[in-house]
């Protein structure tokens, strides 16, 4: 596949679809699902609660992205045109330096048990330490398929803390969930192991739940952009690169700027998460918590000028899946995964991280040169004109 789709935004919808078929990103028989949104009322009723209808958003394609030497067309669900345009432009800039390099760590998720009324915390910790194998057996017992795929509980830890409701013991499991996002699997494991923990500690298990801070399930993305490709009509590439580095440094020292900096990254990541049926809310929560891991909220990415290269680096947790939940149930989520040629959760996480990095690059370049509003509002004006010409009823 070649993700370099020059002039893709100028094509009609029919021409864009034909281009995707010709590039083998989509099979011809997948095109009807693009009309319907892939979701029927019957399926919506099974997926949701109190369903009364369907609510649609545009499904767009981000172009030009290369991840680990492989071209990827990126499905993005968003109502914001500048997000897709920015991602495609940022990917084109990064492409000049070979694209984005990514590496995802193993799919470890954490499950937690809150245990109250423990009569002796020291003895409870000793009992847990002696029963690690039994804890693992109890936690993994509900998941024979996960174990057959090489997943399951990897480690246990515990600590006692004092809260306004009294002392509590927090028991935590690290579970390899393989290609799933993992929430259901982890929650089930925590509920399964709770009775054993109560017997071992003499306490009362209250909360049995996963953590959405997947700080052992981290993706790192990086790229090197030749400064020459950053030039504008009235600004040399080296000047643009220096300004991008300066704006990036602004986010490192000011929390108000850091939040907006990270929001730009999440613009791209969330759009891919929605397109693939992943839990963008959990991704957002984990990302912003990770941005505060050093005690002060900071940027998830940094951009530095190194010789004649602008170097970008992004690191964040991404708990995403390609099996289970809406990803499995929603036909268009499956179509979007096929469009990317993705079969593993780690591959999806890498594409999402790369999307966030190039999205950030495009935003910083605009901010450092013409200003964020010029291109942003130009796209909004085009959308407003199209809506004004539409005769669709409200």
Instruction: List active site positions.
Output: 80, 263, 279, 376
Name the pairing type of β-strands 218-226 and 309-317. antiparallel
- Distance CA(245)–CA(368), nearest Å, equals 9
- What angle separates helix 132-140 from helix 121-130, to the nearest 10 degrees? 70
- Distance CA(279)–CA(325), nearest Å, equals 9
- Distance CA(216)–CA(62), nearest Å, equals 28
Beta-carbon count within 10 A of 252 CB = 13
Under a CB-based contact definition with an 8 Å cutoff, are residues 292 and 307 in contact? Answer: no
- Distance CA(371)–CA(358), nearest Å, equals 17
User: What 3 state SS string does the chain have?
Assistant: CCCCCCCHHHCCHHHHHHHHHHCCCCCHHHHHHHHHCCCCHHHHHHHCCCCCCCCCCCEEEEEEEEECCEEEEEEEECCCHHHHHHHHHHHHHHHCCCCEEEEECCCEEEEEEEEECCCCHHHHHHHHHHCHHHHHHHHHCCCHHHHHCCCEEEEEEEEEEEECCEEEEEEEEEEECCCECCHHHHHHHHHHHHHHHHHHHCCEEEEEEEECCCCCCEEEEEEEEEHHHHCECCECHHHHHHHHHHHHHHHHHCHHHHHHHHHHHHHHHHHHHHHCCCCHHHHHHHHHHHCCCCCCCCCCEEEEEECCEEEEEEEEECCCCCECHHHHHCHHHHHHHHHHCCCCHHHHHHHHHHHHHHHHHHHHHHHHCCCHHHHHHHHHHHHHHHHHHCCCCC
- Distance CA(389)–CA(382), nearest Å, equals 11
């Amino acid at each position: 596949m070649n993700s370099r789709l020059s002039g893709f935004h100028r094509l009609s919808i029919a021409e864009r679809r034909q281009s995707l078929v010709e590039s083998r990103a989509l099979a011809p028989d997948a095109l009807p699902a693009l009309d319907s949104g892939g979701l029927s009322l019957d399926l919506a009723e099974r997926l949701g609660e109190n369903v009364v209808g369907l609510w649609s958003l545009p499904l767009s394609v981000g172009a030009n992205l290369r991840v680990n030497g492989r071209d990827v067309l990126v499905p993005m669900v968003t109502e914001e045109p500048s997000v897709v345009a920015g991602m495609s432009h940022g990917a084109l800039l990064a492409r000049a330096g070979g694209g984005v390099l990514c590496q995802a760590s193993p799919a470890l998720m954490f499950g937690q048990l809150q245990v109250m009324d423990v009569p002796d915390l020291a003895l409870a910790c000793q009992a847990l330490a002696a029963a690690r194998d039994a804890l693992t057996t109890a936690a993994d017992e509900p998941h024979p398929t996960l174990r057959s795929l090489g997943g399951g509980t990897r480690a246990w830890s515990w600590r006692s803390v004092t809260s306004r409701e009294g002392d509590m013991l927090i028991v935590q499991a690290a579970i390899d969930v393989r290609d799933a996002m993992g929430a259901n699997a982890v929650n089930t494991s925590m509920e399964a192991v709770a009775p054993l923990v109560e017997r071992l500690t003499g306490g009362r298990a209250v909360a049995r739940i996963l953590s959405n801070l997947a700080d052992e399930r981290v993706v790192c993305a990086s790229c090197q952009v030749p400064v020459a490709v950053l030039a504008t009509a009235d600004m040399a590439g080296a000047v643009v690169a220096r300004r991008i580095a300066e704006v990036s440094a602004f986010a490192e020292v000011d929390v108000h700027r850091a939040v907006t900096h990270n929001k730009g990254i999440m613009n791209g990541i969330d759009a891919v998460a929605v397109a693939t049926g992943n839990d963008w809310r959990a991704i957002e929560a984990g990302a912003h918590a990770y941005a505060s891991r050093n005690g002060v909220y900071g940027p998830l990415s940094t951009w530095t000028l190194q010789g004649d290269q602008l170097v970008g680096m992004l690191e964040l947790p991404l708990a995403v899946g390609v099996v289970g939940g809406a990803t499995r149930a929603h036909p268009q989520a499956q179509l979007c995964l096929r469009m990317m040629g993705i079969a593993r959760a780690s591959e999806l996480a890498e594409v999402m991280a790369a999307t966030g990095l190039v999205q950030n690059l495009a935003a910083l370049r605009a901010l450092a040169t013409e200003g964020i509003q010029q291109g942003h509002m130009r796209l909004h004006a085009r959308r407003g004109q199209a809506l004004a010409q539409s005769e669709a009823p409200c």
